[in-house]
Structure 1
Amino acid sequence: MTAPGDSTPFGHGGSRRDTVHHPLFARYYARFAPALDERAGLGAHRAELLAGLSGRVIEVGAGSGLNFAHCPAAVRELVAVEPEPRLRRSAEEAARRAAVPVTVVPGVAEALPAEDGEFDAAVVSLVLCSVGDPDRALAELRRVLRPGGELRFYEHVRAGTRTAVLLQRALDRTVWPRLFGGCHTGRDTVAAITAAGFAPLSHRRLRVPPGGVPTPVSAHVLGRARRP
């Protein structure tokens, strides 16, 4: 791994800004995300997200590496891109425990440190909500995938009722992104993926957690799309 701004072994975008800083959120996430995952049943969703992947895979916004344990043995290498330094250190620890080779690198979704068509699949998991420019991030994901490569996505998205959508809009314009590392609660991610030129394969909507009072981030979607 190289310092921010240095060239990387993955070439493209290495001279661009590849670090973001959300130290309070990163500290909270690294400490409490595993317990929250277990309580909300996200482990099963992560396993479904990665099931059947093979070859070289890029995960964008890998966080603390919670997906690594679910990577199938057929994955030859997982390149995990994470811009937040504290979370990247946690991901490096998780990579050492992974059953498949994992390389953790700095980088942002809008300028991925990878060459055109380098990967067989790309994974985004609860990350497109927080990137500054989701359209550019999706264009980058399309760029680094080979033709026919798959995009796997698991994201919280715009809610299904007008009242919930109005609440999401209010939160996204005020406190939510500041408190949760740039997260936006109500993006229409499936529409954005289609607009970016991906061919939809399948997706399903989920409520997380499945019971109790819904939160602004209870509406989730899990799916697959393909680069034509």
Structure 2
Amino acid sequence: MRSRPASPAKVNHPFFARIWPFVAAHEVARVRALRQENLAGLSGRVLEVGAGVGTNFGYYPQSVDTVIATEPEPRLAARARVAAAGAPSRIVVTDKTAEEFSDSEKFDAVVCSLVLCSVADPDAVLRRLRALLRPGGQLRYLEHVASAGVRGVAQRFVDATFWPKVAGNCHTHRDTERAIVDAGFDVDSARREWTYPAWVPSPVSELALGRARAR
């Protein structure tokens, strides 16, 4: 019998848990629109990884039967449970991580929204997510990604210094799209979007929005 992966260390980001609810409540309209687009057309049983304070919950379509939303940071999970109680879809918040789900817990879709930048081992998480999908299941992602040029240099600098410490282990210069393909997914559609004007010196201005299926 195949054994389950070892449980990862518990997540504890007290500073980020204090600031993220404010940031999430004041997201720019473009990010909110991308969140809604990322969830459009989903149905069946959905796994959302790293739900934060439940920012996505109000965007799930009625065609979704159940959303199992993971949030291992306890302070964020408490807020997510409050958001789930008022959401139009049935949402169950758990503190488990993707690695802690058993092979028998299959999903029709997996949603990742601004989370693969913060996990310790994105390659391992993506492989695990692929294993949790039913045949033909879809990965929906909206993620911070590595930018080119001067902005990419700035991303590498902040990743090596203060950014992960204050932003819940967020790493802005990850090649997340390549990691998705390497984990065994075929990308059906993908594009990049700028959420702030080019002159705004934010390392997380560029987002990748895409849909992929397990091979």
TM-score (norm 1): 0.88
The answer to whether residue 174 in structure 2 is matched with residue 183 in structure 1 is: no
Check conservation: 1:95, 1:101, Cα contact below 8 A: yes
Q: What amino acid maps onto 1:28 in structure 2?
A: I
SS at match of 1:185: coil
- How far did 1:114 drift? 4.1
Aligned residue among 98, 103, 123 for 2:92: 103
Q: What's the CA shift for 1:66?
A: 0.5
CA apart distance, 1:212? 4.5
Give CA deviations for 1:20-45 in whole Å, capped at 9, x if unaligned. Answer: 0001111111233111x1x3521111
Name the SS for the 1:209 alignment partner. coil
Matches within 5 A, 1:1-228: 16-17=7-8, 19-35=10-26, 37=27, 39-109=28-98, 111-116=99-104, 118-161=106-149, 163-210=150-197, 212-228=199-215
- Secondary structure of the equivalent of 2:52? coil
- 3-state SS of paired residue (1:100): coil
SS at 2:80 equivalent: helix
Q: Give 3-state SS (helix, strand or coil) of 2:139's partner.
A: strand
In 1, Cα distance between the equivalents of 2:161 and 2:201? 20
Alignment-derived partner of residue 8 in structure 1: none
Aligned pairs, number: 213
Cα root mean square deviation, aligned: 1.8
Amino acid at match of 2:131: R
TM-score, reference length from structure 2: 0.93
Cα deviation, residue 19, structure 1:
2.8
Gaps of 5+ in 1: 1-11
Identity level (%) = 48
In the alignment, structure 2 segments of 5+ residues that lack a partner are none
Distance 1:122 1:27, change over 3 A: same
Note the alpha carbon deviations across 1:50-108, whole angstroms, 9 max, x for none: 00000000000000000010001010000000110000001000100111110100122
Q: CA deviation at 1:173?
A: 1.2
Relative distance call for 1:152 and 1:220 in structure 2 (3 A) is same
Distance 2:53 2:73 in 1: 10
Contact 1:112/1:140 (CA < 8 Å) preserved in 2?
no
Cα distance, 1:116 vs structure 2: 4.2
Deviation at 1:18, TM superposition (A): 6.3
* Residues 69 and 91, structure 2, Cα contact 8 Å, conserved in 1: yes
Contact 1:19 1:108 in 2 (8 A): no
